[in-house]
Structure 1
């Protein structure tokens, strides 16, 4: 829907509302005017009837003192016409003797009828409503012209006002339509004021900032992934070329290919997990999981690799979680600790206050406070002990952060009592309930 159509719809709607209100108001005004003028004329007629009744002179059923346009009758208590003027001659009783006021129609002419007590009965006086009808008709004619003019004025004012109000929106629409994927750094101009239009502009700018950050992150991710994928491919190619040129060289090509293939497989799997997280969040298949069993399995694996592993602080803990993803979290933390430990790694598991807590300690160089947030980024390696030849892809801790967040938990880094880094993961025992729609 274009701004012109919105402008036209608002103008039409406002004009229709004003037209309906004016028509109803005009009808009420005309009705009130008719009632008011009729009531005023009836008051005047009552005084005239009283004056006529006090000096009534009727001769052979004829009343001669009344005005020619009025209807005058002398009625007895039963409503029988005893006398009348020439205008009312031959007419039945124009009112009841005990009725104060009424409106009648005689030969397409309207009259207001009042009564007054006379010596021989009740005097009924009908005064024509011609002047009242003329006044109402004149007012009706004025309103017939004024109401459409007022509607046109309101339509013009609404059209101008709405156009002026929507002009900043049209400017923003034009600016946004010209922003492409290559110039997400552009922003729309925020008009002055504190109403909805400036707030809309600020919301659009915030959205553009998020889009720019997402695009920048995506480009960085593609660049880093390309660099990571090139390394194992180059290693396999180099080994194959050496053997091709020097068949007698002491190189185990199958072992190199298998090792690099495992590295590629782990890298691709990690990128798929992060891609799913970015697209629509991780789909969790929750089930009861014994966290201590997962951690004990890692202690056994690291001991087999020749490390000194302390698992004495592992206590039973069960939570509702995705077993596969939670196992990947524990595996990544264990591999990270093993990669940077000098000789010792320690695990602990505990449960309390509705949360299960996993801690992994190592006696390596530790992580500086300034790097403890950055280390959870993608393809991030710290300078010390995190070179590519150490085996890490820079995605393990990023996966830990995403999976823990998807489970409603949190992960943090502190100094370890062993001298290195301590990773602490806290996960809710039961997932938060989803509110009913």
Structure 2
């Protein structure tokens, strides 16, 4: 049974239960308690003897006939004071008793009826009530019949609901699978449904949306890749031209100008390389993954930046107990290196690189600095491509706003997440969290 059917089942059973209570309450309000009517039918023999045999007797024969009924029936007939009977009955039943009607008490399997309304039978009879006990009253079969009836009604409702929800559930599961695959980067996947299925219009809308998203992303990738490649040619020509000019230049001012232009070209060339790296990450395939040590990857990212980090106090805290994983060690190293480069730009003196396993088995790689930190309202935007904080929009820090975007994509390729929060030193703390499922074995 699927979740949709279970919810319908609970809803239908609740509706049937509420309907049963409402029907019983409505019938009781307008026509009286139906169980009392059943009990009165079951006790009709004793009631008939009382009304047709005892009531027809004269003044002297009334009590002897009542005693004869006591002898031939299993029911106990007792005479009790009217005041005693009134204390045991509800308000609506008291009025009926005072009118001389038979009042059924289903729970005690008995009934009450006044002996005489006018005191004509014998002295004091107007103040006495006949209390018939141990009557053959059993409403349990009736209740079981009603319960069975409502259960059959519920089942008859649930069978078509089950058939209807089952077909819908299979279709929704197919759409969920398509959505998961699309979210994982398989942009070519589409929902396959028949026109006769009720979810066909929804599936068509999803396919149209997927096609539109695929075309937009493909156009963006092509544009990014094409522009990056096309820029390489004029950059190479400019570099060659500057080299020729440097060889012919004799003026010191021209030499300084050429040096500045070469720095601009180097910056532009670096931007192109970053753009190409970003576009390649979108095409990364998990089939190219290999097994590697997480600790070795963290160490490699630190070793590759020895010269850049030489002017800072760098602490490291990780061990081989981090285990091994399947992935692209080059991409993960690039992500950690980008975080270290970012820390080197803004730190005052101290950079901390650590890695640990959390209580749920996830691997966490942390990069802390003691710089100015990142405002809370900016933390969700800094991983967007070309996004820069105000304090980094100068040539002193450099960069193009792509380092963190590349780091995020590299981590996401491995099924992980990257986030930022405040470090204990007051600067920024970047956290790479790799899920426990990627770990293979201890190194």
TM over 0.5: no
TM range (shorter): 0.3 to 0.5
Provide TM-score, normalisation by structure 1: 0.44
More strand as a share of residues: 1
If the length of structure 2 is used for normalisation, what is the TM-score? 0.44
Larger gyration radius, structure 1 or structure 2: 1
User: More helix by proportion, 1 or 2?
Assistant: 2
